[in-house]
Amino acid sequence: MKKLTKQEKHDQCMREIKGTLAVVLLCCVWHIATAFILNGTGLYFLGMPAWFSVSVFGTIVIALVGVRILLKKVFIDFEYDDEEEAK
C-alpha cells in the first residue's frame, strides 16, 4: 500500500473521480446515440430490435472494458486515513 501526502491523496481521488466520470459519460453517450441512430431501422438482433440489443449490450461491454482500464491505469491502493493528524 502506498504512503501518500494529503495533497497526493486529494490529487489521486480527483484523478479516480475524473476517470470514472469519463467512463460513465462514454457509456451514456453510446447508449443514447445507438438507441437514436438504430431506432426505426426495422433491424432485429437476438430477437430484439437492433437499437435495444446494440445499445444495452454495447454499454455493458464498454463499462466492463472501462472498469478494467481504470483499475489497471488510474486506481491505486492507498489508505485515506489521516495518520499524521492523529499523532
pLDDT digits (tens, 9 = 90+) for 18-37: 999 999 999 999 999 999 99
- What is the average pLDDT across 1-21? 92
- What is the average pLDDT across 51-68? 96
pLDDT band at 84 (very low <50, low <70, confident <90, very high): low
pLDDT band at 80 (very low <50, low <70, confident <90, very high): confident
Torsion, CA 15, CA 16, CA 17, CA 19, rounded to 10: 80
